[in-house]
Amino acid sequence: MTSDTRIGPVPLPNTRARRVVEQLLEGSGVTLNGSADWDIQVHHPDFFTRVLHQGTLGLGEAYMDGWWECPRIDEMACRLLMHGLGERAHTPSERLMYRLQTGFFNLQSKARAYIVGETHYDLGNDLFERMLDPTMCYSCGYWKRADSLHQAQLNKLDLVARKLELAPGMRVLDIGCGWGSFAEYAAHHYRVEVTGITISREQATLARERCDGLPVDIRLQDYRDLDGRFDRIVSIGMFEHVGHRNYATYFRTVEQLLEDDGLFLLHTIGSNNSDITADPWVNKYIFPNGVLPSAMHITRAAEAHLLLEDWQNFGADYDPTLMAWLGNVDDRWHEIAERYSDRIRRMFRYYLSVCAGAFRARDLQLWQLVFSRGRAGRYDAPR
């Protein structure tokens, strides 16, 4: 939907759609054309109809089109979620359509596995280099004893390495290696050999450059096509793309690839409930076909294949991580503004802000789980 973007807030129309939206907002602390940084400034009179008809998809697209503004979308999202507007913000047709799709189709089949890479991760390395820190970690940092994004990401990488008990000469598999963050770190600091796989061509290209000269093999490959055996396996921020129909296959694959005395670390965003849902806006513009696992999804799929040794939740740390990425986008967008439209900039601002608000409201979690194949002895995970 497109229309002329209005400059500045407009008088609120006396319509049923406006009154319904105001009723939904009542008690949340978020108002229309208010003075707080988390209030919604309406720039187009059709905003209300669009949101009521299209739900969260319409809300996100309206922001991309300049139909509304809000200095602190993160605070707005946090307040709305804590007010209980999460699931209610999805229209019945949105919920029905996704359930029908996931009921009849495997949205994360091998034939569709590369869609998210092409849509999001291949958007441009120059954009992600501005948004992320020098490690190029595109996952939650570990802010314990950290006062910067870079230190939080280094802490996360080393936490993973210590949980895996890395030792020189080990063969390590990195499922969803991204731009080579962990592969580079582990090979350089722990002198291990790393095989990293990704479904993004842009990620693979940059990861190979970053790991040049290290014992690292970066492959453009789906996890279901892997073979061999590895002493350690790690997967950081990839499980969200696996899909509930493939969880059993994923854990069976890890079991087959992991040595008998090996360890596997899974780092993933987690959902508080086990409903198979996806936000329509995020599904369309950011992570196509993504599904967040619940605790039940993970344990039920893993129990026939691996032994759970440790489970840590530091979801609260994703809030400062996302806000740091948002700050980088705002501070450095001028460096790439000629190559990306303002609509893309607003898309990233909305995505990072809303996600930060969701973690702040504890609507989403970040889990690190360590599994073994039932090796002997006690496992004590570092913190």
Output the DSSP codes for 149-205.
HHHHHHHHHHHHHHHTT--TT-EEEEET-TTTHHHHHHHHHH--EEEEEES-HHHHH
Helix (H, G, I), strand (E, B) or coil at 35: coil
The pair of structure tokens assigned to 344 is 């893309």
List of residues 6+ apart from 170 with CB closer than 8 A: 190, 192, 193, 231, 232
Residue 40's SS3 state is: strand
| Catalytic residue status for 137 | no
- Within 8 A by CB and 6+ apart from 257, the residues are 173, 226, 227, 228, 229, 230, 233
Which one is catalytic: 70, 177, 211, 355? Answer: 355
Q: Cβ distance 196 to 222 under 8 Å? A: no
Positive or negative: CA dihedral 79, 80, 85, 87: negative
| Beta-carbon count within 10 A of 304 CB | 10
Cβ contact 172:230 at 8 Å: yes
Q: Tokens in use for 327? A: 């700050």
Check residue 239 and report its DSSP letter: G
Active site residues: 355
